[in-house]
């Protein structure tokens, strides 16, 4: 029913087994271990671009968290209106909540496919999807430090082959499985802690109770579940789990560093633009939004001064009669009007007139 998953998974694993079998030998346990590990790496390399989109979407959702909280309070009694406003906000910011789930959703069927393919490596099988009878027998006969890759420590109803059927022993199986179980739990916790630490940079994104619950599940429940569930899983699944978490740690470091650098560069460019539009010292800000105009420089005309300190007369200028010290202004009368003695206009003074009359 799920052959569309089983065939691609077995094909990728078959290709890598052929490659490493050429180096280490087809029956060597390390060839099968590396085939499983590089199956993970191939899948994660294919999902690298969606992972980057996931991180960008998460960043946008974190930035929108305060606005989303405001909408929840505003439309607490109107679920339909809240949904519409949420979708509108996400469309405006280019955020896609489902985009962040794609890498995880793709890994789930791959995990199921690998688990099923490993169960099909059983004695008496003549084929296992892309693997032929010789390769099935090679997998059964191989071991990794005495541990069988397809065997579990505790058998369940899903176990089609037991450790005894594969020719292994419990001691060798536990010696290899227990360190892998511990490593799987540790790396799962570290990966979750790294993700939670990135969310902590935005307190508004961690304000909801659902986020707090999910963070606790990621930090503690999932790592413990890997350790407790290890004995029920084939040994190859533990290799898959450890290598998957190692890839995730490295990928997170590279992707987050790249996105942080891009955001820092955008902030620097925005700051440069603000500084370019800001008025220079001594300039009045231009309120119309355009670049501020350069200040006009007004040149003062120099006044020529003669040797005695008086301003020089320009050619063609009319002479100006300056009043003597203590003299009254003429009030606009002509300056060349004859004035009599005593300062009165028009002839002599009254004393001279009287003397003239007596002589007559």
Per-residue confidence (pLDDT) for residue 100, from 0 to 100: 56
In a domain? residue 329: no
In a domain? residue 119: yes
The verdict on pTM exceeding 0.85 is: no
In a domain? residue 349: no
pLDDT band at 299 (very low <50, low <70, confident <90, very high): very low
pLDDT band at 260 (very low <50, low <70, confident <90, very high): confident
Please tell me the total count of domains within the chain: 1
In a domain? residue 146: yes
Mean pLDDT, residues 327-345 taken together:
50
Q: Give residue 161's domain range.
A: 3-266
pLDDT band at 6 (very low <50, low <70, confident <90, very high): very high
Question: For every residue of the chain, which 3-state class applies, written as one string?
Answer: CCHHHHHHHHHHHHHHHHHHHHHHCCCCHHHHHHHHHHHHHHHHHHCHHHHHHHHHHHHHHHHCHHHHHHHHHHCCCCHHHHHHHHHHHHHHHCCCHHHHHHHHHHHHHHHHHHHHHHHCCCCCCCCECCECHHHHHHHHHCCECCECCCCCCCCCCCCCCCCCCCCCCHHHHHHHHHHHHHHHHHHHHHHHHHHHHHHHCCHHHHCCHHHHHHHHHHHHHHHHHHHHHHHHCCHHHHHHHHHHHHHHHHHHHHHHHHHHHHHHHHHHHHHHHHHHHCCCCCCCCCCCCCCCCCCCCCCCCCCCECCCCCECCCCCCCCCCCCCCCCCCCCCCCCCCCECHHHCECCCCHHHHHHHHHHC
In a domain? residue 248: yes
Per-residue confidence (pLDDT) for residue 84, from 0 to 100: 83
In a domain? residue 99: yes
Of 1-15, 99-113, 200-214, 290-304, the one with minimum mean pLDDT is 290-304
Of 40-44, 82-86, 277-281, the one with minimum mean pLDDT is 277-281
Per-residue confidence (pLDDT) for residue 360, from 0 to 100: 46
């Amino acid at each position: 029913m799920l052959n569309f998953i089983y065939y691609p998974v077995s094909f990728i694993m078959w290709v890598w087994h052929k490659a490493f079998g050429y180096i280490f030998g087809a029956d060597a346990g390390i060839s099968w271990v590396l085939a499983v590990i590089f199956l993970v790496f191939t899948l994660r390399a294919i999902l690298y671009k969606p992972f980057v989109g996931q991180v960008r979407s998460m960043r946008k959702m974190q930035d929108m968290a305060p606005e989303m909280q405001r909408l929840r309070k505003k439309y607490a009694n109107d679920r339909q209106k809240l949904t519409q406003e949420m979708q509108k906000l996400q469309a405006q910011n280019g955020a896609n909540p489902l985009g962040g789930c794609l890498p995880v959703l793709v890994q789930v069927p791959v995990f199921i496919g690998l688990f099923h393919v490993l169960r099909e490596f059983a004695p008496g099988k003549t084929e296992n999807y892309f693997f032929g009878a010789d390769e099935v027998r090679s997998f059964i006969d191989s071991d990794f430090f005495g541990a069988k890759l397809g065997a579990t420590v505790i058998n369940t109803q899903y176990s089609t082959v037991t450790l005894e059927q594969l020719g292994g022993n419990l001691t060798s199986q536990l010696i290899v499985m227990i360190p892998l179980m511990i490593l799987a739990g540790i790396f799962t916790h570290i990966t979750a802690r790294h993700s939670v630490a990135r969310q902590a940079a935005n307190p508004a994104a961690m304000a909801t109770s659902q986020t707090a619950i999910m963070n606790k599940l990621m930090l503690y429940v999932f790592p413990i579940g890997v350790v407790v569930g290890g004995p029920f899983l084939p040994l190859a699944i533990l290799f898959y789990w450890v290598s998957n978490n190692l890839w995730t740690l490295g990928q997170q470091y590279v992707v987050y560093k790249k996105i942080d650098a891009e955001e820092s560069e955008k902030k620097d460019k925005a700051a440069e633009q603000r500084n370019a539009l800001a008025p220079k010292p001594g300039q009045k800000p231009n309120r119309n939004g355009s670049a501020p105009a350069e200040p006009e420089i007004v040149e003062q005309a120099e006044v020529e001064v003669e040797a005695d300190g008086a301003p020089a007369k320009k050619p063609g200028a009319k002479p100006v009669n300056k009043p003597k010290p203590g003299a009254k202004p003429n009030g606009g009368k002509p300056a060349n009007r004859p004035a009599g003695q005593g300062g009165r206009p028009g002839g002599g003074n009254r004393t001279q007139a009287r003397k003239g009359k007596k002589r007559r």
